[in-house]
Structure 1
Amino acid sequence: MLEQLVLHTESLAIGYSSKKDTSIISSDINIELKQGELVGLIGANGIGKSTLLRTLTKVQKPLSGTISLRDKHLEHYSNIDLSKVLSLVLTEHLASKNLTVFELVALGRQPYTNWIGSLSENDNSIVENAINAINLDELKHRKCFELSDGQLQKVMIARALAQDTDLIILDEPTTHLDMYHKAYILKLLKNLTESTNKTILFSSHEIDLALQLCDSIIVMLNDRTVQATPSDLISSGVLNELFPEDLILFDKNSGAFRVKK
């Protein structure tokens, strides 16, 4: 149903363009992100996942095609209006680790605060609710440099939650985490879609976990981009195209990749 669509693309081509040359990374991308769904983005290293996310979040321009967010072309959003509909969580060095957890989460309210950036009673309530939703109450007065990678990732998700957008996009949120915390973060994202009805898109190399938790998965391949439910991806054999078959195969029975003997 069109009214349930939060974001969709039509014939989208992504890549880089200069005066001398145009480099197309992927083209004819047609994807749909529906309200309340957890959507995974998977593909081999260098296939263009981060480029796609940067294009979907207006960090870089598409080469061609359209991106619509809530039935409005992405290019027609001002930066401040976009920040009220879409929030982005990147895996990168955090420059503000000297802030407390509460202060960092409160940065999510910037699109709504007045010109001096002071929080209203409503802003404070939203920040507290985000901290509570991610189970960070015991850490909210701690400095961010004191946190583990897993704890810091939870804080970044809480900041996006405090931004109160329809769509949250995360670029490899489980990088640098151990297996337990990888599963914890992705299960947390799944729970958030169910409790808030927000749409969450994340890129990841944790394909086995994505297949277990996602409502739909976008697969970037060398010659095309496919979106389907996990069960349809497994039955169609698309997952065997992700990696060279000389080393890794996808086992339909176990729902996991295995090394070829």
Structure 2
Amino acid sequence: MNSKQPHIILKTNDLSIGYVSKKKQTCIASNINIELKRGELVGLIGANGIGKSTLLRTLTQVQNPLDGAIEINGKKVSDYAPIELAKVMSLVLTEQITSKNLSVLELVALGRQPYTNWIGNLSKLDTEAINNALDHTNITELIHKKCFELSDGQLQKVMIARALAQDTDLIILDEPTTHLDMYHKAYILKLLKKLAKDTNKTVLFSSHEIDLAIQLCDNIIVMTENQVVSDVPYNLIKQGVFETLFPKDLIAFDEKTGSFRVKN
């Protein structure tokens, strides 16, 4: 008997990304064909300036693709109305929040905006979603604190809780470990791994923490100057993909340990 195929949450078909300005088109990457399956933790990695943020902005409709298509749950992203898209995809960005005077509870509750009425009243279902998000991220004891009182690590957990409260199939995070020390980098990525498993949501994040991504991710999307590839970490290691990320004169990838080292 064939095992049931995992549900594909996000899929791209021959996607090309880049910019259009003054009638000039600049392509950053093309022929991008990736599939994100339900319940997976997926890392997006690559060297600085390679186009990771551009890819995320394109996937999230912040900017238009140059060519190709993006689908979420089998429907083109461009066919979603904004309120519909907010019910299937949530974002955690690197930009600082503008209203740090909000309490933790108030900020997490903003994740329910796609579902509330025009007054913003919370239903019993909304409250349950908020409480579940607080529990999953272990921040229930912080609910009355103002966001300006939080450490960077605590604030990142609150932002993840807001995305969880939004209750979408797909959560996309742009460099969620920026400004965190090594312990909190590992903590946040392990939290994302647990959330993907426990909630069966698909979590896609961009990161420079390649070693951690190799250890924790179900799949990794690797952007290089020549291609965008997606596979399980073991296969990418065997294919030598990580060895192409950085100039070989300074940094080498150790296939046995699955980590990078500086050459002497």
Verify same fold: TM over 0.5. yes
In structure 2, distance between residues paired with 1:96 and 1:78: 27
Provide the aligned C-alpha RMSD in A.
Answer: 0.9
Instruction: Describe how 1:145-164 pairs up with structure 2 within 5 A.
Output: 145-164=148-167
Shift of 1:260: 1.2
1:89 is the counterpart of 2:92? yes
Instruction: Identify the range of structure 1 (232-241 vs 103-112) with the bigger mean alpha-carbon deviation.
Output: 232-241
Q: Which residue of 1 aligns with 2:120?
A: 117
Shift of 1:2: 6.7
Q: Which residue of 2 aligns with 1:9?
A: 12
In structure 1, distance between residues paired with 2:199 and 2:120: 26
Q: Which residue of 2 aligns with 1:254?
A: 257
Shift of 1:149: 0.2
In structure 2, distance between residues paired with 1:129 and 1:226: 35
Query: Which of 27, 30, 43 pairs up with 1:27?
Result: 30
Query: For structure 1, which runs of at least 5 residues remain unmatched after alignment?
Result: none
Q: Which residue of 2 aligns with 1:240?
A: 243
In structure 1, distance between residues paired with 2:101 and 2:133: 20
Shift of 1:156: 0.2
Instruction: Describe how 1:1-261 pairs up with structure 2 within 5 A.
Output: 4-261=7-264
In structure 2, distance between residues paired with 1:125 and 1:175: 30
Q: Which amino acid aligns with 2:215?
A: Q
In structure 2, distance between residues paired with 1:90 and 1:137: 22
TM-score by length of 2: 0.97
Q: Which amino acid aligns with 2:240?
A: G
SS of residue matched to 1:237: coil
Q: Which amino acid aligns with 1:4?
A: H
- Moved segments of 4+, more than 2 Å: none
SS of residue matched to 2:115: coil
TM-score by length of 1: 0.98
Query: For structure 2, which runs of at least 5 residues remain unmatched after alignment?
Result: none
SS of residue matched to 2:96: coil
In structure 2, distance between residues paired with 1:20 and 1:101: 45
Residues 46-94 of structure 1 deviation map (CA, whole Å, 9 limit, x = unaligned): 0000000000011100000010110001110010000000000001111
